[in-house]
Amino acid sequence: MLYVAGKLLGQRLFKKLMKMTFYGHFVAGEDQESIQPLIRHNKAFGVGTILDYGVEEDLGSEEAEHRKMESCTSPAERDGSGTNKWEKQYQAHWAFGDRRHGVISACTYFYANEAKCDSHMETLLSCIEASGAANDDDFAIKLTALGRPQFLLQFSDRPTKWRCFFHQMAAEQGQVGLAAMDTKLEVAVLQESITKVDITSRAEIEDWFTAETLGVSGTVYLQDWSSLIDSRTKLSKHLVVPNAQTGQLEPLLSQFTEEEELQMTRMLQQMGILANKATEVGVRLMVDAEQTYFQPAISHLTQEMQRRFNVERPLIFSTHQCYLKDAYDNVTLDVELARREGWCFGSKLVRGAYMAQERARAAEIGCEDPINPTYEATNAMYHRCLDHVLEELKHNTKAKVMVATHNEDSVRFTLRRMEELCLHPAGHQVYFGQLLGMCDQISFPLGQAGYPVYKYVPYGPVMDVLPYPFRHTLENSSLMKGARRERQLLWLELFRRLRTGSFFHRPA
C-alpha cells in the first residue's frame, strides 16, 4: 500500500506528506543527526530517550508468511518428509505467518538470511554508540532481529516442557493450585518417583540432587528445578521429559542439533557484543518481549546476559508482559533468581502488544489462551506485578524497574506506592516510559516533577520506518481514545494561555 502511494504521488511529495502526518507524529527523524532537535527538546523538559531503530520492511502478507514459514521450519518439515517433534504452540502455522497482524506498538522483523542479521547487528551497534554520544541512557533491541526464529521456537519448547514436568511432579506430591514461588518438591519423594521410571540407577539419581546443585533444604523449588536445565551444569545430559504423544521419556537437551547449538552460541555472542558496547558508552539495553512462542527462549538468553553484565547495576533489562496469565509467576521467579544468584534485577513492565494475535492463534491451534480474560484482569495483574517489584526495590537499592504504560491510573498507582515505600525519584530506581507521539500529558509533567521518564523514540529513513507507524495507527484502537483525551487537554491548555496571556511555556 505504501509502495503504491509512493509511486502515485512521487517519492518527494509522498515523503513530505508522511513527515507532516504519520511519520512526523510517531518517528523522530531519518538519522542520528536529524533526531537531535527532538532529543534536546524533550531533555529540556526532563524527558529522556530510548532510541529504537524502527526499520520494518513493507512486505505483502504473502511474502511475510513465506518468510516466516521458511525461517521457522526445517526443509524436511516443509516438504513433508519429516515430522515436527515440538509442542504445537511452538510450531509455525501458516495462518499466522504474517506476525504483524493484530500487533500494537511493536516493530516486526522477518528473517531473510544471516547476512541480514549481520546488517542488523551493525545498525544496532551504531545506534547504541549514538545513544551514548547523545547522553541517552537506553536503547531497545529485539532478538528476532539477530537470528533465525526457528531456533527461538525450538529453544522455547524445552524450558516449557521442563517447567510442565515440574508441575506434574508437584501435583503428584499434592502441590496443586499454589503460586509458582510457593510450589516445591520433596527431594526424597522426587528421587523415589524418578527411580520408578527406571531411566538410570538410584545412585546416579541421588547424585543429581546434591547440596552443590540444590542446597541442603531437602526441597526443590522451581528456581532450583530450572537451574537443572542449564547447560552449564553437569546434569544436563541426564535430563528427560515426557513425550506428550507417546508418554515415553525422551532426552531434553540432546535434541539440540549441532546447527542449533551454533545458533544459540552465535546469538549469545551477538548479545554479548551489544552489551559490551552498551557498557563502553554507558547505555542500558532494553530487550523487548515478543510473542509467547518466542518468549521462553528470549527470557533465557536475556537472563544469561543479566548474569554476566548486571553485576554492579542493571545494564540489561528484561520485559514482562502483564496481559499474560502467568505474568506474576514470571516476575516473582525472576526477582528471586536475581536475588539468589547475586545479580541486579532490571525489568520493563508492559501490558503487551500481541493480544489479538495471541488469542486468535490459541483458538486456531487449540491451545489455552495465554491472555488474561478481561482488561480489568490485566490492569490488576499489572499492578500486582508492579507492587511486587516496588517492594523488592525498597529492600534492594540496585534493582530497577521501568513502568512502561500509557494508563494514567497505573501511573498514579506507581506514584502512590513510591511515596508509601519511600522510593524517592532522585534514587532513579523507578523509571516511566511512553511511546513517542502518545500520552505527552503523562510524560512531560513527570519529567518536570523530577521523575525519570523516557520516550520510546523510533527513527530511520521514511520509506523503511513508515510501515511501523502506519500499521500502528491502523491497528491500535486505543490510539483514538488517547488522541481524543489529548485533544481535550490541548484545548484546555490553549484557553488557559489565552486567558492568562502566557502564550509560551518554558521548562522549569
> What pLDDT does residue 27 have?
87
Pick 322 or 240 by higher pLDDT: 322
Assess whether pLDDT exceeds 70 at residue 396. Answer: yes
Q: What is the pLDDT of residues 439-485, one digit of tens each?
A: 889 999 999 999 999 998 888 888 777 766 665 555 455 555 556 66
Q: Where are the domains of the chain?
A: 2-52+115-144+257-462, 157-255
User: 420 and 366 in contact (C-beta within 8 Å)?
Assistant: no
Q: Quick one: 59 exposed, middle or buried, by C-beta within 10 A (0-12, 13-18, 19+)? A: middle
Amino acid at 496: R
Query: Phi and psi dihedrals of 2, rounded to 5?
Result: -65, -40
Mean pLDDT score across all residues of the chain = 78
> What pLDDT does residue 191 have?
77
Pick 269 or 145 by higher pLDDT: 269
Assess whether pLDDT exceeds 90 at residue 392. Answer: yes
Residue 320 CA to residue 312 CA, distance in Å, equals 22
Q: What is the pLDDT of residues 51-69, one digit of tens each?
A: 887 665 444 455 444 444 4
Topology, domain 2-52+115-144+257-462: TIM Barrel (3.20.20)
Pick 446 or 103 by higher pLDDT: 446
Q: Which residues, 6 or more positions from 268, have their beta carbon under 8 angstroms from its beta carbon? A: 301, 304, 305
Pick 197 or 141 by higher pLDDT: 141
Angle at 208 between CA 202 and CA 211, to 5 degrees: 120
DSSP label at residue 146: S
Q: Would you put residue 46 in left (φ > 0), alpha (ψ -120 to 50) or beta?
A: left
User: 349 and 385 in contact (C-beta within 8 Å)?
Assistant: yes
Assess whether pLDDT exceeds 70 at residue 209. Answer: no
Assess whether pLDDT exceeds 70 at residue 248. Answer: no
Residue 179 CA to residue 331 CA, distance in Å, equals 12
Lowest mean pLDDT among 95-104, 154-163, 208-217, 397-406: 95-104
Lowest mean pLDDT among 72-86, 122-136, 261-275, 423-437: 72-86
Question: Residue 388: in which H helix or E strand, if any?
Answer: helix 375-395
Strand 346-350 with 316-321, pairing: parallel
CA distances 442 to 140, 438, 456, Å, are 21, 9, 14
Lowest mean pLDDT among 16-20, 366-370, 499-503: 499-503
Q: What is the pLDDT of residues 147-189, one digit of tens each?
A: 777 778 777 877 787 788 788 888 888 888 888 888 888 888 8
Residue 489 CA to residue 432 CA, distance in Å, equals 21
> What pLDDT does residue 492 have?
75
User: 66 and 97 in contact (C-beta within 8 Å)?
Assistant: yes
Other Cβ atoms within 10 Å of 388 Cβ, number: 14
Assess whether pLDDT exceeds 70 at residue 14. Answer: yes
Structure pTM? 0.80
Residue 160 CA to residue 157 CA, distance in Å, equals 5
User: 185 and 169 in contact (C-beta within 8 Å)?
Assistant: yes
Q: What is the pLDDT of residues 123-153, one digit of tens each?
A: 889 888 878 876 656 888 888 788 777 778 7
Residue carrying C-alpha cell 518466542: 294
Assess whether pLDDT exceeds 50 at residue 426. Answer: yes
CB burial of 301-318 (b: ≥16 within 10 Å; e: otherwise) equals bbbbbbbbbbeeebbbbb
